[in-house]
Amino acid sequence: MNSKTTSSKLHNAAKDIWQQYHSHPFIQNITDGTLEQNKFAAYLVQDYLYLYEYMKVYALGIAKADNEETMRLFSDSIYFMLNSEMNIHRKYMQQFGISNEQALKTSMSVNNRSYTSYMLHCAYQYGVKEILAAILSCAWSYSEIAAQIVKNNPKAKEHKLFGKWVSDYSSDDYAANNQDLINFFDKLTAKSTPQEYERYEEIFLRCSEYELDFWNYAWEVGNKKSNQESLWKIMRKNKKSEDDATASDSNNSKPAIKEAAKTATTEPKPIVKEEVIAEPKKVATDEMVEKISAQDNVEIVEDKPQKSEENKPQEAKKQSARPAIKETNAAENNQEDDNYQGTTPKSMISNARQRAMEASSKSATNSDNSRPMSDARRRAMEAANRAATETPEKNAVPMSEARKRALEQASKAAAKDDDKK
pLDDT in tens, 158-186: 999 999 999 999 999 999 999 999 999 99
Q: What mean pLDDT do residues 295-315 have? A: 47
Residue scoring higher pLDDT (349 or 210): 210
Domains annotated for the chain, with CATH where assigned, are 6-246 (1.20.910.10), 286-301+309-420 (no CATH)
For 324-341, give one letter per residue: b (16+ CB within 10 A) or e. bbebeeeebbebbbeebe
Q: Measure the CA–CA gap between 359 and 40, rounded to whole angstroms.
A: 122
For the chain, how long is the longest CA-to-CA vector?
Answer: 162
Rounded mean pLDDT of 203-230? 81
pTM over cut 0.75 = no
Does the pLDDT of residue 119 top 80, yes or no?
yes
What is the model's pLDDT at position 338? 46
Confidence of residue 393 (pLDDT cuts 50, 70, 90): very low
Q: Under 8 Å CB-to-CB from 411, ≥6 apart: which residues?
A: 360, 377, 380, 381, 384
Q: How confident is the model at residue 374 (pLDDT cuts 50, 70, 90)?
A: low
**Dihedral angle at the C-alpha atoms of 80, 82, 85, 89, nearest 10 degrees?**
-170
Between 298 and 95, the more confident residue is: 95
Residues with a known catalytic role = 138, 211
Average pLDDT over residues 200-208: 98
On the question of pLDDT at 204 being above 80, the answer is: yes
State mean pLDDT over 151-163.
96
User: Cβ–Cβ contacts within 10 Å for residue 277, how many?
Assistant: 6
The three-class DSSP label of residue 310 is: helix
Q: How far apart are CA 94 and CA 25, in angstroms?
A: 25
**Statement: residue 271 has pLDDT above 70:** no
